[in-house]
Amino acid sequence: MMKSFFLSLLVGLLFSKDYVKPTEIDGKKKWKGEGTTSNLESIVIGRCYEYIRIVNPSVGEKNCTEIWEAFKKAFINKDPCNILPSDYELFINLSLHTIPPNKSLFWENNHLLVTSYSDRTRRYMPLCDTLIGSFGDFLNWCGQANDTGFNYDSCPNTEECENNAVESFWKIASITYAKQSSGVIYIMLNGSAIGGAYPVKGFFADYEVPNFQKDRISRIEIWVMDDIGGPDLDSCGRGSVQILEERLKTMGYDITCIDNYKSVLLLKCLDYLNHSDCSIVS
């Protein structure tokens, strides 16, 4: 059962970007990306225990040390440009838990707003508020071939190689999250984002939308939130949002789209009480 689940997880994963040779300093590879976050082990094990004890104890007992070892095993002592999503399979297996119906919140270009609004699973449970997502949120990591330690100096970014430790982690995490989501699905987009509220290439478009489970989803609701004082570049029924709406309709979903959803706008306006964009909530 679990084996077939993970086989289905990997359908649609593409690894097409070319490898870019890094520079070398004193015989050591120097990548363009930031190195491993300091104290990574302490941070993620602490996050794990905080999650199962305080944030979401309904997930039940989890062995956080075992989960950490599975996470680390995915990329340590390996070529940092040859880490596949499947390398995290054991980690996913150990940390997987149920996502309550009507709680899934997908997003693009508004990470901090989503985490504020979800309120650590009290309102919604975006990927970053799952146990899986908590291991990687705002962190960076990589290893190196023939070395059992972390590379704290630099890690490859996506431009240098797509199959890096962080990119592959978020691919399988995104696919898992999409497959586990059910009921009403919520999507928060940034209507002021340069390049469009809905990037047609990205984790949401490439790994989450294709893995929605039609028989588990009742409807989809899109919120397009403009920045306070920012431009209204995209909105429901036009631009890239229209592309997303049409894609979801073609897939057979019942969708609703709301510009500047009032509940989220209230939260945004806490920091801009006197701004004209917030007059609607006064």
Domains of the chain: residue spans and CATH: 23-98+127-173 (1.20.82.10), 182-282 (3.40.50.720)
**CB distance 203 to 178 below 8 Å:** no
pLDDT of residue 241: 99
- One digit per residue, pLDDT tens: the chain, 282 residues? 444 544 455 444 444 444 455 666 554 579 999 999 999 999 999 999 999 999 999 999 999 999 999 999 999 999 999 999 999 999 999 999 999 999 999 999 999 999 999 999 999 999 999 999 999 999 999 999 999 999 999 999 999 999 999 999 999 999 999 999 999 999 999 999 999 999 999 999 999 999 999 999 999 999 999 999 999 999 999 999 999 999 999 999 999 999 999 999 999 999 999 999 998 755
pLDDT of residue 29: 77
For the record, the structure tokens of 252 come out as: 């057979």
pLDDT of residue 2: 44
Neighbouring-strand partners of residue 259: 224
pLDDT of residue 15: 40
pLDDT of residue 76: 98
What is the spatial distance between Cα 52 and Cα 56, in angstroms, rounded to a whole number?
5
pLDDT of residue 9: 52
Can you list the pairs that 208-211 forms with residues at least 24 positions away whose Cβ atoms lie under 8 Å? 208/106, 208/174, 208/175, 208/177, 208/178, 209/178, 209/247, 209/248, 209/251, 210/12, 210/178, 211/9, 211/12, 211/174, 211/175, 211/178, 211/179
Burial 200-215 (b: 16+ CB within 10 A, else e): eeebbbbbbbebbeee
